[in-house]
Amino acid sequence: MNEMLTLMKPELVITGIIFLLLFIKIGKGMKNEHQLLLIQGLLLLNFIAGFFGNAEGSLFDGMYLTTNMIVLQKNILNLGVYLISLLFAGWFKRSEHMPEFFMLMLSALLGMFFLISSGNLLMFFLALELATIPVAAMANFDLDKKRSSEAAMKMILSSAFASGILLFGISLLYGATGTISFAELPQFINGSPLQVLSLVFLFSAFAFKLSIVPFHLWTADVYEGAPWQPLHSSP
């Protein structure tokens, strides 16, 4: 238990912040300015805490891995989220649903943490979905704008399609190699037709997720509909 608390400290801290934001939203006793200051303070403390009390190891039979390099990557993501809270402070102060936005963003961050620490394809797939679905909800955050809803719909549909392709590719790869562990896969790769087919599906799914040409047609509409403009601007 102590080992899990130490190795999964970044994920547990983010989860705790998400629950705290939920309680803040339910309470409805703080102004937006005070909520934003509290959130910025929590994100700063989370970033600072990322440099202390870390350890290397694995959990759940190698499903979850962490090293000093992985911790560094997570700290970079923590810094990025903290900078977002600073750079768009004016936008957040005008929003009626600021805690929900940060809950979604931190949920996506949590998925990215698990993605970085994935030790096998199953963990990778689940983490990728956890990182993707909240982003689709964030794209629809301007609830009064039709193009925002359209952006979220296009993103979630393309993401669901890519997830299906990815899961099928993982299934084929498991059938061809008998393992989904990243540590064991290289020794079973021999270039058989089934393995090549599975890699084609995997590459296609990643191309959709990463918006690589020619699987990028959904990206422009999602970027256009995402809430990057001030809330008081015309739809």
Q: Is the pLDDT of residue 207 over 60?
A: yes
Q: DSSP secondary-structure letter at 191?
A: -
What element of type H or E holds 146? helix 146-177
pLDDT for the residue 235? 40
Range with lowest mean pLDDT among 56-70, 93-107, 211-225: 211-225
The encoded tokens of residue 29 equal 């006793």
pLDDT for the residue 232? 45
Is the separation of the CB atoms in 180 and 122 below 8 Å?
yes
Using 50, 70 and 90 to split pLDDT, how confident is the model at 76? Answer: very high
Question: Could you report the per-residue pLDDT of 142-168, keeping only the tens digit for each?
Answer: 777 777 788 888 888 888 888 999 999
Average pLDDT of every residue of the chain = 86
pLDDT for the residue 228? 63
Whether omega for the bond prior to residue 214 falls within 30 degrees of 0, making it cis, is yes
Q: DSSP secondary-structure letter at 217?
A: T
pLDDT for the residue 95? 78
The encoded tokens of residue 130 equal 């956890």
